[in-house]
Structure 1
Amino acid sequence: MTDILLPRDVPLGGLRAMNVRRTLPQRQRSLIGAWCFLDHYGPDRVADTGGMLVAPHPHIGLQTVSWLFGGTIEHRDSIGTHALVKPGELNLMTAGRGISHSEVSTDEATVLHGVQLWVALPSAVRDTEPAFRHYAPPVMHGEGWDAQVFLGSLLGSESPVETFSPLVGAEIILDAGTTLTPEVEPGYEYGVLVDFGAVHVNGEEVTQHHLAYVAPGEPLEILADDLSHVLLIGGRPLGEDIVMWWNFVGRDHEEISEARNDWMAQISDNAGLVQDGTDAYDGRFGIVGDHLTPIPAPVMPNARLKARA
């Protein structure tokens, strides 16, 4: 079974912020493997959009995967990481029991183009300690294709970055007329996002900005109609229901509500303090070492949050 998932436009950080195209989650599909969130943006000229300016905000129960096609973003987090997100280099942040971070495009960035993904942590490890990893994968070459495998194993390349569930993630460029049939892992489901160009996945046409879903047990054949640039993700189905709300991934309403209350209490306690980590109470989520005002959480909905498979 190959389904085509269409994106929806979402303003990142407010109504006048840069727009992203979100293909996960959506009503008919919440996850591909443990991948639970996929934002695709650009190429956008920073002079027109104002770039990315996401002030400190919290996460629990997930990993963030930042992968750029163009531009640079400055990442700061509450475990002391200060890193640049660059094209072709993986930045993976594990939130676990709680972390906060900010993302700001650099002054040198004239164009922003890339993806931001989340991975839901399995229940048994969702309270793990926060962490950060960086990895610059080699470029692999084949007949009519180039690829970088940033997570998992594919096309003869294996990422050394450990994950908490079986996953794969890769950026692939295909010449027009190229057919790629990578060896699939038994039990994996896959997603193919088209950044530019047009491809057929198992015979189904996938046009720009659309995401093809391939069910476990199905083959994976990608035929490039034109010069095409795609993102491939996949993994073994998580096999757990999750609750996603704002920046949190949990298992029930109470867990999410507790995380929200902890964040709001922390930023309230730190009201008026310089966010430099010296005079502020770091709470559950820690303090990001920049001078941006942390983002308050939205009000919880009146209805109970429901888990999604």
Structure 2
Amino acid sequence: MSSSVEVLTARDVPLGGPRSMTVRRTLPQRARTLIGAWCFVDHYGPDDVSVTGGMDVAPHPHTGLQTVSWLFSGEIEHRDSLGSHAMVRPGELNLMTGGHGISHTEVSTPSTTVLHGVQLWVALPESDRHADRDFQHYAPDPVTVDGARIRVFLGELAGSVSPVRTFTPLLGAELVLAPLAHVTLTVDPPFEHGLLVDRGAVRLAGSPLAQAELGYAPPGHDTLTLTNDTDMPARVILLGGPPFGEEIIMWWNFIGRTHEDIAQARADWMTGIEADAGTGTRFGEVRGYDGDPLPAPELPSVPLKPRGRVR
């Protein structure tokens, strides 16, 4: 299997804020758009907020997706147009369903000194792309397998099952590998998997992955072997799901199927904020944030084209 592991490297992307906190983005990229229904992987920190200013993302919209927030350190305050007001803390999942339209804010709290975590998106299938907006919170208990401490926040792994609702089968888990740990995990053969290295150097099925790299393993395997060759703990995020059989268009904070889907979402968002009437009925209004909504960028001059998984 080692020869079939594909290594995806990250690119640095500024994430707003007065001093522009930088995130490392491994998905999507030209080589691969999707891993299962996972379509977006941002990895950030450890980030000294006294230098960067931390995270302060004004009200902004989402369509056609679920957002998954998972922290290693720090705390983020979440508010959305459903009325949810929750904290994102280490080891606790916040999952928001955008569906037909939602808006939210993300702000690191004053007590946060170091911000470190991942922000992930899941594409919704066509049948559920216009689902009602929703918010779920879950704090998984850890399980230990062969030197790996595992927190399963979505799906099932190592006998641990998350109750959080998704619209396609998914796996999402944090694993902390003990020094020199060699762990073989039973996985679903129909799933493709991605392994993001947060800390340390890890081998996936014999293929080395450096910090911030994402290793891709195709479907067809009933086990995955993870090895930490170092004398320090390593931490990884394991993602998985069956290949997503639909092409999608991702642009700004929207996921659709056609250029017209995206153009309509953008128009609906801009109409709401330009009319000074909250953010419109499609996306609702975020209460409790002191600041204006983010305007959408201009659409490109050429039509947006859908992309699917690499075969």
Q: TM-score, normalised by structure 2?
A: 0.95
Which SS does the other structure have where 1:84 is aligned? strand
CA separation in 2, counterparts of 1:170 and 1:79?
26
Which of 6, 11, 33 in structure 2 is aligned with 1:8? Answer: 11
Q: Which amino acid aligns with 1:251?
A: R
Equivalent residue pairs, number: 301
Letter in 1 for 2:298: V
Contact persistence 1:197–1:225 (CA under 8 A) = no
Identity %: 58
The 5 Å alignment of 1:30-109 reads: 30-109=33-112
Alignment partner, residue 251 of structure 2: 245
Query: What root-mean-square deviation, in Å, do the aligned CA atoms of Structure 1 and Structure 2 show?
Result: 1.1
- Structure 2 residue aligned with 1:256, among 249, 257, 262? 262
Q: Indicate yes or no: 2:222 matched with 1:216.
A: no
Give the secondary-structure state (helix, strand or coil) at the position aligned to 2:291.
coil
Structure 2 SS opposite 1:132 = strand
Distance 1:211 1:15 in 2: 29
Report deviation, 1:255: 0.3
> How many Å apart are 1:291 and its aligned residue?
2.1
Give the AA of the match of 2:283: F
Question: Which residue is equivalent to 1:194?
Answer: 197
- Equivalent-residue separation in structure 2 for 1:292 and 1:76 (angstroms): 13
**Once the 2 structures are TM-superposed, how far is the Cα of residue 181 of structure 1 from its aligned partner?**
1.3
1:156 aligns with 2:159: yes
Output the amino acid matched with 2:294: I
What amino acid maps onto 2:119 in structure 1? Q
Decide whether aligned partners of structure 1 residues 186 and 6 sit closer, same or farther in structure 2, where only a CA change above 3 A counts: same
Amino acid at match of 1:178: A
Name the CA distance, whole Å, in 2 between partners of 1:160 and 1:10: 33
* Equivalent of residue 185 in structure 1, options 174, 182, 188: 188
- Write out per-residue CA displacement over residues 151-184 of structure 1, whole angstroms, 9 at most, x where no aligned residue: 0000110000111000000000001221111111
Q: TM-score, normalised by structure 1?
A: 0.95
CA distance in 2, matches of 1:225, 1:64: 33
CA distance in 1, matches of 2:199, 2:48: 17
- Code of the aligned partner of 2:286: V
Q: Write the mapping of 1:125-164 to structure 2, written as runs, cut at 5 A.
A: 125-164=128-167
Q: Is the 8 A contact 2:18 2:53 kept in 1?
A: no
- Compute the displacement of 1:16 (Å): 3.4
1:275-294 to 2 correspondence within 5 Å? 280=278, 282-289=280-287, 290-294=289-293
Where does residue 31 of structure 2 map in the other structure?
Answer: 28
**Distance of 1:297 and 1:197 partners within structure 2:** 37
Alpha-carbon deviation of 1:203? 1.1
1:198 CA drift (Å) = 0.6
Q: Give ranges in structure 2 of 5+ residues lacking alignment.
A: none
